[in-house]
Structure 1
Amino acid sequence: MFLFCCIKNYSSMEIEKKLQYLLDRFEIQDVITKYSFGQDLHQGEDRNVQEVWKDVFTDDAVLDFQAAGNPPTNYQNMIKIMRGDGVHNGNMSSFSNWQHLMGNPVVEIIGNEASARTDLWATHKGRIDVGIPNQSLYVAGAFSDELVKTDHGWRICYRKLEIHFMDNIHTVQ
């Protein structure tokens, strides 16, 4: 009943436009969250992050993680930077486990383009076998994304990492 009361003053075209906005926004939020799943579901030696990230980024997407000391690059190279290339360790190789939580997205959609800013909270547990047991790294920040609607759905074409603070904290095993 409430929904009917709210929409009865809109034309069918207005309702269709609002519904499309909601569907697009949900899909954008899912794409933003899939980034975290790509990171977190493929921990340790499993480097198959690309399996998930191909549904997150456009082929030519730029990831600007200069805040973490990495030059802007594509997502395929960022996977190598983070996980290693099979010969060299990546910058996440000193962690045994991690979790990336995304929240509070602000999304603006204009046609087939969108921008979003999403808070990030990431935790990383130090690996015992590389000499940093009892250490955890916590990162608070945000991602600023530019997205485009493709034939395969919404994809991030530009992502910039912003770090508010990082803490390396002694923990108990």
Structure 2
Amino acid sequence: MRHSLPMQATDLVLTPTHLRFLGRRFPCSIGRGGVRSDKREGDGATPRGTHRIVGMLYRPDRMARPADWALPIGPCDLWSDDPADPDYNLMVRAPHAFGHERLRRADPLYDLVILTDWNWPCAARGRGSAIFIHQWRRPHFPTEGCIGLRRDHLHWIAARIRHATRLVAS
């Protein structure tokens, strides 16, 4: 687990029911396994700790670029979630022989994805793959460990996060 660092005004602060950011509260979904310090692959938990925001991905066929540093999700973009993969917990491209998750989905869940540095870039096998901040399926419906938000809230946050923004989950 990461050491606790002093809170910053630009932090995204996670509680079991909402995310606080820039003086606002946003209802959210978290992992079905709750917030845990001992996160493992497949446990459905959201990892406790202070995590840097390291990237933003978006579907250019569905929305405008949300920030000047956001990268487009292409038709062949995947995320490796297979601990046996040498590229475990990294973005990869199809075709890909190991277990993975499609980033370009038919549903809108990954139209906009904010990436955290959970177990990245040098992943420890079995500690769990990426923790994204993305659109929820429906209010408070649990995720596989990611943080889900209402679409308009996700877009509001994405437009305002900066290089120093962190996700603080306690």
Structure ID, larger Rg: 1
Q: Which has the higher contact order (CA 8 A, sep 6+)?
A: 2
Q: TM-score, normalised by structure 2?
A: 0.26
Q: TM-score, normalised by structure 1?
A: 0.26
Judging by fraction of residues, say which structure has more strand. 1
